[in-house]
Structure 1
Amino acid sequence: MTGLILTLNSGSSSLKFAVYRPVDFGELTEKDCVLHGAIDEVGEHSGFRAFDNAGNILVDETLPAEISCGDRPARGVRNEVIIPCLEWIEAHIGSEVLIAAGHRILHGGPHYTQPTRFSKQVLADLTALIPLAPLHQPACLAPVSTLEKTRPDLQQFACFDTNFHQTLPEVAKRLPLPRRYSETGVRRYGFHGLSYAYIASRLPEIAPDIATGRVIVAHLGNGASLCALRNGVSIETTMSLTALDGLIMGTRTGAIDPGAVIYMLQTEQRSADDVVDILYRQSGLLGISGVSSDMRLLRKENGNFSVKQAIELFTYRIVQEIGALIAVLGGLDALVFTAGIGEHDAALRHDVCSAFAWMGIVLDQSRNDQMSSVISAEDSKICVFVEPTNENLMICRAVLGCLNESRSS
């Protein structure tokens, strides 16, 4: 196969990217990554970083003031920042050509259950889902429009975070609302699917004896959720109709009593936009601590009572939801930690695993502190892993599948 594939993974104020050089249409691996990096918009500055596959820095710069200044969208990275970075990528790859771009799209709704090539209709359908993902969907879709305007010949594909959870049993998809809501697609979907798909693909390599067993994956970052796997497929997860449900997150509430929302609307006379802002942007670790949504910063404030309460509740909810997933699975063979907090916060892993000592989880503290791949002790009845996720790789594999299918038809 001739040509490179660009993957884009948009967040609320950053955009992670990677470029892959597939070998024909075979199985893509991490070795096929040519470069990767991120665009970050923090404060008054826009930063651009890129690395080669060995981790060597290719570029690490703050973009010029005439690019960094100007109005910024409520969510996502601005066009003015994306375009020069795209030009840098094209200059770096030289005579090689980008033939396709894959985008992580948070919500596919009830109709988009497989990776899909973008069209005007697809873009319109996914834009209509913004009320179900006000924090993420606009950010995910913004680069699509940018590339459509500046690189109209580049094929673009949507790769959905909801796809991996299509295997949820029907009972797990239902919400206890009047039936008319389910008939319009108001049901549980689940998210972080690209991350869970990657971990599921890694299990046969890192733990073949338990890859088909009962596994819980903890994707713990600024956004956080859990997924229960049996035979490598999702059978339950903590997020629901939106990415607001489940665990406490950096700025999101996770599961709360709906009565709290009614209180905001009726007693405080809050508008719907106010409530969205409170639930998505003012709550979670930030709201409880009053300090930050970043666990790394919170760990440095260990003398702050509000920070201590935030970390305690974050940990408690993880333990509580793991317990619920164990019940659904009928036991547990392995626990996998991934994403920013999951991979790097040894104290959190210790506290979560200690809560399940009664089940036979024994942590090897030295391995945990060193962030080894396996952090459980030899005599632990349940294996515990730390495994970095790779959503960009899963995006590229999905794009390759679409291109392969197109070539075959």
Structure 2
Amino acid sequence: MILVLNAGSSSLKIEVFDENLTSLITGAVTNIGTDGELKLRKSVTQVTALTHADALSLMLDALTEAGFGIDTLSAAAHRVVHGGTILTRPAKVTPEVIRAIESVIPLAPLHNPNNLAGLMALQKVAPELPQYCSFGTAFHATNPDVAIRYAIPQTQHDAGIRRYGFHGLSYANMVADFGDDLPEHLLAFHLGNGASLCAIKDGKSIATSMGYSPLSGLTMGTRSGDIDGAAVLRMSQSLGEEETDRMLNKVSGLQALAGDNNMKTLLQRDDAAAQFAVEHFCYWAARHAGSAVVAMGGLDAVAFTGGIGENAAPVRDRIMELLAFLGTVPVHIIEADEEKQIARDALALMNA
């Protein structure tokens, strides 16, 4: 059995898979640092976990009571948001890999430290248990240089200012889900509170809408999507760097356009602001899609995943309506399952 861990800023989510990638149990510890909950299957317990190590200890105790003790596990596998240019494929955890994850913390200061916290906490509790990592940026390592390079001086490019792309685990899971039926030219949408698209040719990422950070690209729940750098500089001059960052990431997107980042709620509303927000979301998804089709040189199918992609039929329909000029192609809905992909990556490394 493989224990998959996803350590966020204030939560620790887990899922256990068997060798057939069947999910056996799921759980989470919420509100790390204050009063929270431990959820395992359908049970909910009030807990206080001040650190990720505390949360892990509580979760491991609960898993043991449920029959999934450390001694029953073959390995653990972790989600790491950013692998930079060094970690471009899943890896077994070694001191060198840990140092590499630490080295790209400046590229994901809000995520990689938390991902590492879960990894290190488990390493202390079970030092003999093999651990593996999957990286949210790795799937896009196949993008050609012309797709990743900003037209900026070499010194800044060398400093790490380039397009990386995100949601890679979701797209990798989509490719695996298609199996032998994978279309040659697949336009993939991951639509949720965070939204992106990916041009997938022959199973590899050729281009993606997110860039240096998850801020760029499509209109999102609370992120602005693409915005002129000069506009960001002007806002930063009046608001300050920290407030501008908060505004563009936390209170922009659908939230700014209609006062709500919940697509389900917006689709139920009939006011002009909600209708405009939904149209904005669909318009920019389709507009970026045109760019992705150019990047991969054709279109054989479209696939949607993520909370909005899977559940909001009006959004899918409107995006496909805007793309109708490209011709009629099959449309697929794929269940998002990053945890399953992480377990799949670990199994592949274990069996290599």
2:291 aligned with 1:324, yes or no?
yes
Q: Is the 8 A contact 1:135 1:280 kept in 2?
A: no
1:292-303 to 2 correspondences below 5 Å: 293-300=261-268, 302-303=269-270
2:36 aligned with 1:92, yes or no?
no
Shift in Å, 1:215: 0.8
Q: Is the 8 A contact 1:47 1:60 kept in 2?
A: no
1:216-295 to 2 correspondences below 5 Å: 216-266=187-237, 268-270=238-240, 272-291=241-260, 293-295=261-263
- Superposed CA offset, 1:73-94 (max 9, x none): xxxx854434312221122225
Shift in Å, 1:321: 0.7
Residues 197 and 264 of structure 1, relative CA distance in 2, 3 Å threshold: same
- Which of residues 46, 62, 72 in structure 2 aligns to 1:63? 46
2:93 aligned with 1:118, yes or no?
yes
2:43 aligned with 1:46, yes or no?
no
Residues 124 and 116 of structure 1, relative CA distance in 2, 3 Å threshold: same
d(CA) in 1 for partners of 2:92 and 2:248?
32
Residue of structure 2 equivalent to 1:139? 114
How many residue pairs match? The answer is: 351
Shift in Å, 1:283: 1.9
Q: Is the 8 A contact 1:104 1:395 kept in 2?
A: yes
Residues 83 and 283 of structure 1, relative CA distance in 2, 3 Å threshold: farther
Residues 94 and 141 of structure 1, relative CA distance in 2, 3 Å threshold: closer
Structure 2: segments with no counterpart, 5+ residues: none
Structure 1: segments with no counterpart, 5+ residues: 23-28, 51-57, 71-76, 361-380
- Superposed CA offset, 1:16-74 (max 9, x none): 3211222xxxxxx443x3223444449x8634444xxxxxxx3331424xx17x6xxxx
- Superposed CA offset, 1:178-236 (max 9, x none): 0112223322121111111111122235xx2xx24211110111211101111111111
Give the alignment's TM-score, normalised by structure 1: 0.78
1:3-22 to 2 correspondences below 5 Å: 4-11=1-8, 13-22=10-19
d(CA) in 1 for partners of 2:7 and 2:113?
9
Q: Which amino acid aligns with 1:63?
A: Q
d(CA) in 2 for partners of 1:91 and 1:156?
22
- Which of residues 29, 32, 35 in structure 1 aligns to 2:25? 35
Residues 20 and 329 of structure 1, relative CA distance in 2, 3 Å threshold: same
Q: Which amino acid aligns with 1:59?
A: K
SS in 1 for 2:257: helix
Kindly indicate which of the two structures has a greater share of residues assigned to helix.
2
Q: Is the 8 A contact 1:226 1:322 kept in 2?
A: yes
Residue of structure 1 equivalent to 2:273? 306
Q: Which amino acid aligns with 1:60?
A: S
d(CA) in 2 for partners of 1:38 and 1:305?
39
SS in 2 for 1:335: strand
Residues 160 and 119 of structure 1, relative CA distance in 2, 3 Å threshold: same
d(CA) in 1 for partners of 2:11 and 2:266?
21
d(CA) in 1 for partners of 2:275 and 2:29?
32
- Superposed CA offset, 1:358-401 (max 9, x none): 333xxxxxxxxxxxxxxxxxxxx300011102211221122223
d(CA) in 1 for partners of 2:108 and 2:266?
27
Q: Is the 8 A contact 2:200 2:207 kept in 1?
A: yes
SS in 2 for 1:63: strand
Q: Which amino acid aligns with 2:62?
A: W
- Superposed CA offset, 1:128-161 (max 9, x none): 4333224433333331233234333333222111
